[in-house]
Amino acid sequence: MINLYSAHIASLSIHRVGNKSKNEPVLLSEETYKTDDEITPLLKEFFLKPFRDKEENYFQFANEVDVEFNEIYKISSEIFANPESIHEQSKKITKYLYDQSMHPHIKSGEVYVAYFEGLQLDNEKVNGIGIFKSELKQDFLKFSEKENQLEAYLQQGVNLNKLDKGCLIFDVKKEEGYKILSVDSNRYDTRYWIESFLGVDPCEDDNFKTKKYLKFCQDFAKDVVLPAEDKKQEVLFMNRAVNHFAKNDNFEETAFVNDVIDNPDLIPEFRNYKSEKAPKYSIEDLTTFPIANTAVTAARKKIKNVINLDTHIQIKLDFINPESAERFVEKGWDEEKQMYYYLVYFNKEEKS
C-alpha cells in the first residue's frame, strides 16, 4: 500500500530525448531545475497522480545473468547511495533511454528525473527515484492585450493532466531488484519502456499471486464450467471464488476447492486444468499464500456478472449476495417453444 501525498521533490532534473533512429538530438541540462512554490506542486501532481489512480502491480529490476548488470538498477543504486549525485546520474539515465529509442514509433519528449523523500510504502517512509517522460504535445491559446485589443497565439505544450510514461523506484529490497511501479499511457510502445529501458519483471509478491490465481480461476470458469454447465454457473463459480478470497486472509487450495466448487465432478477437472495451464499463470507450485485485498477488489471490478441472452435481455447477478441467484433464479427448457428460459422469483420490484 502506498501513500504519496506526503512526498516532496528534493531534486529535479529535466532533459530532452529524441528518436535516435531518426538522428534526433538529446539535450542534457547542465544544472538541476530550480523548483518554486508555484510550479512544484503542479509537477508533483503531474508525476504522482497516475500512481494513485492505478492498481499496485509492482515490478523489480532483472537481468538474464544478474540484476547487477541492469543499467537502471546500477544507476539507481548509485543515486540511493549518494543522492547528491542525482543530476549527473540523470544524464546517464537520459542517455540510456536515448540509446533504446530506436523504433520509428518512439516519440521525442522531455525526461524528468526526480528524487523523492517522504514516500510511504507499507506504512513506512522511504525515499524514491521518479523517472518520467512527456511525449504528446497539445495545442493551446495564449492571449495578449494591445491597446484594448486581445490577440490570440497558438502554442504547444505538455498537458499536466496526463503523464505519458513514468516509474517510481522505491529504496527497498535492493537485493531483489527494488520495488518499482510503472505507468504507460501509450500502449503502442510499452515494450520499449518496460523491457528495453527499465528491464523489469513483475514482483511475485502477494498481490501478484492473488491476481494470477484469480485470473486462472476466471479462465477455468470460461473454459470448463461454462461448457460443462451454463453461464449462470460460470458467473456463480467466479462469484464464490472472489468471495472466498475476500473473506480469508490466507489462501489454501484444498479449502478453496471444497468451498467454491459445488459440482464434485468438476474437482478433478480443476486439478487437470491447473496441471496443464499453471505455467501460463506462474502458479505451478502455488497452493498457499497470503491474500492481497487490493488484488481481490480489482478482480471483482473486472469480472462480469451478467448473463447476456440472444433475445436481447440481460440478467445481472449480485456479486455480494450470490445466494440470491442460487435461490431465486432457475433455468429450464420449454418444449413448446423449444427454448431455454430463466425463471426469476421476487416479492416486489425495487425502485432504481
- Please report the pLDDT score of residue 319 as a whole number: 57
Helices (H), 111-156: none
The pLDDT of residue 320 is 62
Q: How many domains does the chain have?
A: 2
What percent of the chain lies above the pLDDT cut of 90?
62
Q: Among 138, 169, 203, which residue terminates a domain?
A: 203
Domain of residue 17 covers: 2-203
pLDDT of residue 56: 80
Residue 35 C-alpha cell reads as 523548483
256 in a structural domain: yes
* pLDDT computed for residue 322 by the predictor: 61
Q: Provide the sign of the torsion angle of the four alpha carbons 205, 206, 211, 212, taken in this order.
A: positive
Distance between CA atoms of residues 116 and 129, nearest Å: 6
Mean predicted lDDT score pLDDT of the chain: 90
Q: CA dist 298 to 98, 214, 233, 321, Å? A: 35, 10, 22, 18
Q: Are residues 193 and 69 in the same domain?
A: yes
Does residue 351 lie in a domain region? no
Sort residue 118 into left (φ over 0), alpha (ψ -120 to 50) or beta: left
CA 4 to chain centre: 16
Distance CA 326, CA 316 (A): 13
Q: Nearest-CA neighbor of 201 among 177, 221, 236? A: 177
Mean pLDDT of the region 23-30: 95
Are residues 240 and 260 in contact, defined by beta-carbon separation less than 8 angstroms? yes
Of 156, 185, 203, the residue at which a domain comes to its end is 203
pTM for this predicted structure: 0.79
Q: Are residues 230 and 338 in the same domain?
A: yes
Single-letter code of the amino acid located at 163: L
| Residue 349 maps to a domain | no
CA dihedral 40, 41, 43, 47 (to 10 degrees): 130
User: Which helix (H) or strand (E) segment is 277 a member of?
Assistant: helix 266-281
Q: Say how many C-beta atoms besides its own lie within 10 A of residue 87's C-beta.
A: 20
- One domain, residues 151 and 263: no
**Listed range (50-54, 241-245, 252-256) with the worst mean pLDDT:** 50-54
Boundary (domain end) residue, out of 203, 237, 268: 203
Residue 262, C-alpha cell as written in the block:
459445488
Q: Are residues 186 and 252 in the same domain?
A: no
